[in-house]
């Protein structure tokens, strides 16, 4: 089975906005974090001098934060569907104590922030008292959400614990849905585009945020030469695409892709334009000239913010091969050595197929695409077919592509480190098939809640001491990688650099942190063979 365009925009089954499941929501988690800040005695931070103007943030204990900082021109009016313009400047001292609005999107998750097209802001956390020239390591987070939702202000992305551990942490909003990924001949050709990049406006926003970081992070005590970009799901895909993008070269020194779908090849620009023209036509806009472009930009935001029927919906927005920002598929670029040659950490979870819950209802076609069904089932331990399909889907989308990218980096002499996150809280092990997509994030950020909450339809219990031990370990490895380019510096079990000969990764599981050799090798070899057959089929 191949990872195709269908997998390009993974999404969970999100809860309805504001729905209170089990008495807790992620929105209430945010309120708890805010209350903790107030309890810690939040006060004004020292003024920071950026290229746009002076900023005053908030200090809470040992952490200073600066929120809602514009990093590009508001993409509104005639700037809709254009590359991000220069960030606005201001006089005096700008208060940076509140998150900016989230970008236009379907409200799949509760948010305390309003939703607007004017949304290109970022947030910085740093150790309190950090001075310009401190040259602290920097991490820049790219959120997931299938390229159709997400926000830098999501509470579990709070950067306080990274800052506590000596890292300057940046999160930012980027355009999603049709606002961030939209192709149409009226926008893509001739004087309208001016020969510049088109269609992948959300990725352009990510590059703009990285450029802002390069230009300004030293003022916060960060080192622009020690920037680690990291992200999960659509954010992980974004990291992989930025690794391969000529437009992002030199903007980061290290990268981490969590659930990065490494064998994705985005759809062609022509295919994206066909989708865009169908949308335009459905809204009464014909033609491909300047008048059509103006009419598209005049559409109400709610019209663009329409819902999508599911992963099979061909109208779901996402990156396309525009030839400037995205020039080739991820695996193809790595195979040719066209990616950034920087230390790279990647991995996924044991139940990535949680994105596709119906796979267990129709396991036969999934299994058949991998090879002889009897052999496939045998390789997966003779389990019932629904369980085989889930594990096979996880391996196909994430685990095998991760191994493939790591092998290519090893052949090029580039440091690569691979993980497998299988940890499930003890209270959920009897009912959970594995660690679902995205469940590692609260461990990475060390933002495990002490009370139960709901995340993407999954009921998550309050953290136990055992859960916190895993969070401490995962977070420490990410911090060590940011500081040194080698997660083994975390002080736990030594995380080996991936080599084709050694074939080792680190698993975060119920038995703690363990180094595994030849992890699922026979299964991954089976999938690799199926991928090669499909790529050479007439």
Structural domains of the chain in order of their starting residue, each with its CATH number: 5-361+394-517 (3.40.50.1820)
SS3 string, 323-337, reads CCCCCCCHHHHHHCC
Return phi, psi of residue 64, to 5°: -110, 140
To the nearest 10°, report the CA torsion of 34, 36, 39, 43: -50
Residue % of the chain over a pLDDT of 70: 89
Q: What is the DSSP letter of 493?
A: S
Is it the case that residue 38 has pLDDT exceeding 50? no
- At 394-423, the pLDDT tens digits run 999 999 999 999 999 999 999 999 999 999
pTM of the model: 0.91
Strand extents, DSSP E, 37-175: 43-44, 48-49, 54-56, 58-60, 63-70, 93-95, 102-103, 115-116, 121-127, 136-142, 168-172
Residue 531 and residue 338: Cα distance in Å, rounded? 21
Strand partners, 458: 455
Q: Which residues belong to the active site?
A: 233, 352, 437
* Structure confidence at residue 28 as a pLDDT band (50, 70, 90): very low
- At 482-492, the pLDDT tens digits run 999 999 999 99
Is it the case that residue 199 has pLDDT exceeding 80? yes
Identify the pLDDT of residue 453. 73
Average pLDDT over residues 208-228: 98
* Structure confidence at residue 22 as a pLDDT band (50, 70, 90): very low
Average pLDDT over residues 251-260: 98
To the nearest 10°, report the CA torsion of 478, 155, 51, 42: -110
Average pLDDT over residues 308-328: 87
Two tokens, residue 192: 């309208």
**118 vs 196: which has the higher pLDDT:** 118
Residues 6+ apart with CB under 8 A from 327: 244, 245, 246, 321, 333, 338
Mean pLDDT of the chain: 90
Residue 129 and residue 59: Cα distance in Å, rounded? 9
Residue from 421, 435, 512, 429 nearest 469 by CA = 512
- At 330-389, the pLDDT tens digits run 999 999 999 999 999 999 999 999 999 899 999 999 999 999 999 999 999 999 999 999
Return phi, psi of residue 523, to 5°: -65, -45
Identify the pLDDT of residue 193. 78
β-strands 504-509, 512-517: how paired?
Answer: antiparallel
Is it the case that residue 500 has pLDDT exceeding 90? yes
Strand partners, 446: none
Q: Dmax of the chain from CA atoms?
A: 71
Q: Report the interhelical angle of 385-394 vs 363-370 (nearest 10°).
A: 60
Residue from 439, 476, 442 nearest 154 by CA = 442
Residue 424 and residue 328: Cα distance in Å, rounded? 36
Residue 344 and residue 414: Cα distance in Å, rounded? 8
Identify the pLDDT of residue 108. 67
Identify the pLDDT of residue 8. 29
Average pLDDT over residues 424-430: 92
């Amino acid at each position: 089975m191949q990872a195709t365009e269908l997998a390009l925009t993974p999404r969970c089954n999100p809860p309805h906005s504001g729905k209170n499941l089990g008495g807790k929501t992620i929105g209430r988690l945010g309120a708890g974090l805010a209350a903790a800040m107030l309890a810690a005695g939040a006060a004004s931070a020292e003024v920071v001098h950026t290229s746009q103007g002076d900023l005053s943030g908030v200090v809470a204990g040992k952490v200073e934060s600066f929120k809602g900082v514009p990093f590009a021109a508001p993409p509104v009016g005639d700037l809709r569907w254009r590359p991000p313009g220069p960030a606005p400047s201001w006089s005096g001292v700008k208060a940076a104590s509140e998150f900016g609005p989230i970008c236009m999107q379907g409200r799949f998750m509760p948010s305390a922030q309003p939703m607007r097209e004017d949304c290109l802001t970022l947030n910085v956390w740093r150790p309190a008292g950090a001075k310009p020239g401190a040259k602290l390591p920097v991490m820049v987070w790219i959120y997931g959400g299938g390229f159709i939702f997400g926000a830098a202000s999501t509470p579990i992305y709070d950067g306080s614990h990274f800052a506590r551990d000596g890292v300057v942490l940046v999160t930012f909003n980027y355009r999603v849905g049709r606002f961030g990924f939209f192709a149409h001949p009226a926008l893509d050709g001739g004087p309208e585009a001016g020969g510049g990049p088109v269609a992948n406006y959300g990725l352009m926003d990510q590059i703009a945020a990285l450029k802002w970081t390069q230009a300004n992070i030293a003022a916060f005590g960060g080192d622009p030469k020690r920037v680690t970009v990291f992200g999960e799901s659509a954010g992980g895909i974004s990291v992989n695409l930025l690794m391969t993008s000529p437009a992002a070269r030199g903007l980061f020194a290290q990268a981490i892709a969590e659930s990065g779908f490494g064998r994705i090849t985005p759809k062609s620009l022509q295919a994206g334009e066909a989708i865009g023209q169908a949308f335009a036509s459905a809204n009464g806009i014909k033609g491909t000239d300047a008048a059509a472009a103006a009419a598209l930009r005049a559409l109400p935001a709610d019209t663009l913010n329409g819902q999508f029927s599911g992963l099979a919906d061909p109208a779901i927005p996402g990156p396309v091969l525009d030839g400037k920002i995205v020039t080739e598929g991820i695996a193809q670029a790595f195979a040719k050595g066209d990616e950034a040659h920087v230390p790279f950490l990647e991995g996924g979870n044991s139940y990535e197929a949680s994105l596709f819950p119906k796979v267990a209802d129709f396991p036969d076609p999934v299994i058949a695409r991998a090879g002889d069904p009897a052999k496939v089932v045998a390789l997966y331990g003779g389990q019932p077919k629904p369980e085989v399909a889930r594990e096979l889907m996880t391996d196909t989308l994430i685990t095998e592509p991760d191994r493939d990218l790591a092998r290519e980096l090893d052949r090029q002499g580039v440091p690569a480190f691979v993980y497998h996150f299988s940890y499930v809280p003890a209270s959920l092990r009897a009912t959970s098939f594995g660690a679902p997509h995205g469940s590692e994030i609260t461990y990475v950020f060390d933002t495990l809640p002490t009370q139960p909450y709901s995340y993407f339809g999954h009921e998550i219990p309050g953290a136990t001491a055992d859960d916190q031990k895993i969070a401490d370990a995962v977070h420490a490895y990410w911090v060590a990688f940011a500081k040194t380019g080698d997660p083994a510096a975390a002080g736990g079990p030594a995380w080996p650099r991936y080599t084709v000969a050694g074939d080792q990764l680190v698993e975060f599981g119920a038995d703690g942190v363990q180094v595994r050799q030849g992890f699922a090798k026979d299964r991954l070899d089976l999938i690799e063979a199926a991928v090669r057959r499909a790529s050479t089929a007439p």
